[in-house]
Amino acid sequence: MNLESVKAYCRNPKNRSTVNVGLFVILIISFHFLYLGWQASGYWPIGKWVALLMVWSVDMVYSQACWVLDHLLCIDITTSSPHRLIAAINSNGDFARVVIAPECASLKQWMHWLFLMLLFPGPWKHKAWYIPAGLVIIEWTNVVRICGVLLMQVFWPNIHIHLFGNDINTFHLAHDYVFKVFFYLIIFLMWVLWVEKFYNPSIKAKQHE
């Protein structure tokens, strides 16, 4: 298969869905490895600014999660702001807890979204508002994730399963599997909405000009 045949395949409207999904996968995987490399370099050359942004992002999501748990869900929580710790009594009478580390901030997912949407084609007049809206949704998805990790420990503290060769307790099931999948599912659904409501219609409009 030569370059011209690849271009012809990509231009064929019948293949648009396949091409779109393929480009999405390429961009997502590319960013993952680029981010790992950048992280290993200490976020050169703006490591100081990234560190400050992480602190700000962690403090924000910590405050938001505390507010949701306290005011919306009416969970009796104990907090420690210096450690960014949130705890609550579980159904066994013990403490369930989450500690929001820098890696728990929304920063990586924000960058993921920016990388995806800036490089994925589509009308810029809609990107101008859709990208910021996506950043807000990602932030509150992270709040849901943090609250969900704590709540699973509160209501189902005794989960112990064998998964993928590992012994998984409630915290690891919630943190590493359930809500990590949920987080990226939200990003995927926002991308699907972009493709169906903005990108594909823009392509059809150009074809009828």
How far is it, in rounded angstroms, from Cα 127 to Cα 9? 26
How far is it, in rounded angstroms, from Cα 53 to Cα 32? 19
Provide the whole-model pTM: 0.92
- Contact (Cβ atoms closer than 8 angstroms) between residue 134 and residue 113: yes
How far is it, in rounded angstroms, from Cα 150 to Cα 85? 11
Closest by CA to 95, choosing from 114, 112, 68, 75, is 75
Q: pLDDT at position 103, please?
A: 83
Beta bridge partners of 77: 88
Q: pLDDT at position 92, please?
A: 92
pLDDT in tens, the chain (209 residues): 567 777 777 777 788 889 899 999 999 999 999 999 999 999 999 999 999 999 999 999 999 999 999 999 999 999 998 899 999 999 999 999 999 998 888 999 999 999 999 999 999 999 999 999 999 999 999 999 999 999 999 999 999 888 777 889 999 999 999 999 999 999 999 999 999 999 999 888 776 65
How far is it, in rounded angstroms, from Cα 137 to Cα 116? 15
Residue 80's H or E segment, with its range, is strand 77-80
How far is it, in rounded angstroms, from Cα 35 to Cα 114? 13
Q: pLDDT at position 1, please?
A: 57
How far is it, in rounded angstroms, from Cα 116 to Cα 71? 34
